[in-house]
Chain A
Amino acid sequence: MKLTELIQLIDGAVLTRGADLNRDVRGGCGADLMSDVLAYSQPDAVLLTGLCTSQVVRTAMMADVAAIIFVRDKQPTEEMIQLANREQIPLISSPHGMFEVCGRLHNAGLQSLEHAYDEG
């Protein structure tokens, strides 16, 4: 799915500049706990989160996240936007809640890029 299609599906607003919105996204991952993202997300996932701190952007950089979607209309700070612009990670805000956004994207065929929990 193209990032531009995804943005339409969730009524998203793009908050960053310059990043390539025509890129393909392979799947998604939803979490508020950044350690979960670091542990269980696969590269090139879009990250759906209700957490809105600089650590989300940092985590995205480390985990090779394709784009960050803030649910429930969370608005990142200017500092976060600048960091994301520098790192070319699109920040998107959606008015819908986490369950709704996950549901819409999953329905539209976006697969999960979360590893299941493993003891190792």
Chain B
Amino acid sequence: MDAEPLRTDRVITDGAANLISRVEELAYELTIAEVMSRDPRAIAPGTKMGEVMETFREARISGAPVVANGELVGIVSLEDLIRALRESNIQAPVGEYMTRMVLTVKAHSPLIEALKVFEQRHVGRLPVVDDDNRLVGIITKGDITSGVMRALQYDYQEEEVRKYRARHLFEDIVSDRTSLTLRYKIAHGAFAQGGNASSHIKRALLRLGASPQIARRCGIAIYEAEMNLIIHATNGGMIRIEIEPHRILMEAIDDGPGIYDVEQAMQPGYSTAPDSIRELGFGAGMGLKNIQRCVDDMYIDSTPGRGTRLELRINMPPQESLGDAARKTGTTEERDDHTTNHRR
């Protein structure tokens, strides 16, 4: 996929500038060995150009190092192949068409060394050698891009650490019954923020070790409830989540206007939402029904003029309870033995 051409009039934000300098740093921090493709498909000089074509097609590559007796002797690329084709000479050995003056880079050099060569010499790929000049890999611009991307995903690892910590929360704190309560204020009409609280809640559940299915059910239910508060609650409202290892209790509370006929509000298609809400993709009268589908228990307590309290419960079966790290990372036998680990 081609990148969009850089526009010179683009304003670079602080965030983008930080990202750019991080990428520059990475060019010095990462070594070529960390980024290159290992075990490149080496081709013998006697191989016919026609076979090279097949190899390229199969492996979906556009070039390969040529190795004789363990030593790098050249590199053969699509361009060489095209030359052979043009001269109707695909029976010729690789040695006849390959490039002999091969530029190489050292495996332990920083990435910037490879970038410099790419920039100055306009080559598509560079063989990577160790200190004894033995071929250990091959590097392309694509390898550099994906290597840098991987490194930028460092944030992802941080997320793993957070998950690890959160998962142990329930074991680290000793009480007869431990629960974690999250509260979010939801403002009336704050459509731009709609879904913010739900995103935080879903992420929290995943960090605490909830299964993707449980997190998805909670996320969908609470997102619909959050949108309801934004759309309907005159003075906004509050979302309160109480998490226990075996149960998630979710409440959406507001002080008005209240639902006149709860049964009618539960009917699919019944809605009091204005068109402006429908334009956002909501307000089709499916919210409460959707919520009900996602949870194990749902109660609505509403008084017109006074407000509404929506209470939702999701119960986790023992094998899906939160925070039980020993079971989650354990072997199959341990997993089967969940009843002894499970606390209530």
Contact = CB atoms under 8 A, between A and B. Distances in A.
Given A61-B199, A62-B202, A34 B220 contact: no
B219 A33 contact: no
B281 A53 contact: yes
Contact of A54 (B149, B192, B286): B192
Interface string A43-67: 1000000010111101101111000
B195 A38 contact: no
B290 interface: yes
Nearest to A18: B149
Contacts of B293: 39, 120
B251 interface: no
A33 B281 contact: yes
B290 A35 contact: yes
A105 to B, nearest CB: 19
Tell me what chain A mostly uses at the interface: helix, strand, loop, or mixed.
helix
Interface string A22-44: 00000000001111101100010
Contact of B223 (A33, A36, A38, A56): A38
Contact of A55 (B194, B216, B284): B194
Nearest to A35: B286
A97 B149 CA distance: 33
13 contacts: A14-B1, A33-B284, A34-B281, A38-B220, A39-B290, A43-B213, A51-B280, A51-B281, A55-B281, A56-B281, A58-B195, A61-B195, A61-B199
Given A33-B281, A56-B281, A43 B220 contact: no
A61 B280 contact: no
Interface string A79-112: 1000000010000000000000000000000000
Interface of B: 1, 149, 152-153, 191-192, 194-195, 198-199, 202, 212-213, 216, 219-220, 223-224, 227, 279-282, 284, 286-287, 289-290, 293
Nearest to A52: B281
Contact of B195 (A21, A36, A62, A79): A62
Contacts of A62: 195, 198-199, 202, 216, 219-220, 223
B199 A58 contact: yes
Contact of B280 (A18, A36, A55): A55
A35 B290 CA distance: 7
A35 B219 contact: no
B192 A36 contact: no
